[in-house]
């Protein structure tokens, strides 16, 4: 499918989804663009939110698709393929496909980031958690 018109969405009108369990972490997200919910193709994008707290993380996982994170607010610690580094507003990270990665909130404020996948639909991303769970 090829889209011939632009699409505009307002983040506050997109429902929050989330995980809250030890095998995946405690993450909320909004999928802004995905062909199953918007008349778009080729890319999927959304925002992720990690509240302050001990379990405020997306645990170590991988997926076939590369991904980009752009940090909007807060401060976090990312691990990609065993290497750790801090992320903060204005920092962008390219994550190669099949790389094990995680992100954790390390401050007492919301950590919020934009994520982008080069796929038509978010449903095409198959998460493989290091704990063994392969669920969305």
Domain boundaries, the chain: 14-129
- Whole-model pTM? 0.92
Collapsed DSSP state (helix, strand, coil) of residue 116: strand
Which parts of 22-134 fold into alpha helices (H)? none
Given 2.60.120.10, 2.60.40.10, 3.10.180.10, 3.40.190.10, which CATH number is that of 14-129? 2.60.120.10
Burial of 4 (0-12, 13-18, 19+ CB in 10 A): exposed
How far is it, in rounded angstroms, from Cα 38 to Cα 33? 6
The upper half-sphere exposure of residue 36, i.e. CA atoms within 13 Å in the direction of its Cβ, equals: 7
123 φ, ψ (degrees, to nearest 5) = -65, -15
pLDDT tens series, the chain, 136 aa = 566 689 999 999 999 999 999 899 999 999 999 999 999 999 999 999 999 987 799 999 999 999 999 999 999 999 999 999 999 999 999 999 999 999 999 999 999 999 999 999 999 999 999 864 445 5
């Amino acid at each position: 499918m090829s889209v011939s018109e632009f699409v505009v969405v307002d983040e506050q009108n997109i429902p929050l989804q989330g995980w809250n369990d030890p095998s995946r972490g405690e993450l909320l997200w909004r999928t802004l663009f995905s062909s199953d919910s918007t008349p778009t193709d080729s890319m999927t994008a959304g925002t992720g939110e990690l509240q302050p707290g001990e379990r405020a993380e997306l645990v170590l996982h991988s997926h076939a698709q590369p991904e980009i994170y752009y940090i909007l607010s807060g401060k976090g610690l990312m691990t990609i393929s065993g290497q750790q580094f801090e992320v903060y507003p204005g920092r962008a990270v390219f994550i190669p496909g099949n790389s094990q990665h995680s992100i954790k909130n390390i401050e007492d404020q919301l950590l919020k980031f934009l994520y982008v996948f080069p796929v038509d639909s978010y449903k095409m991303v198959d998460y493989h958690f290091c704990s063994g769970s392969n669920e969305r």
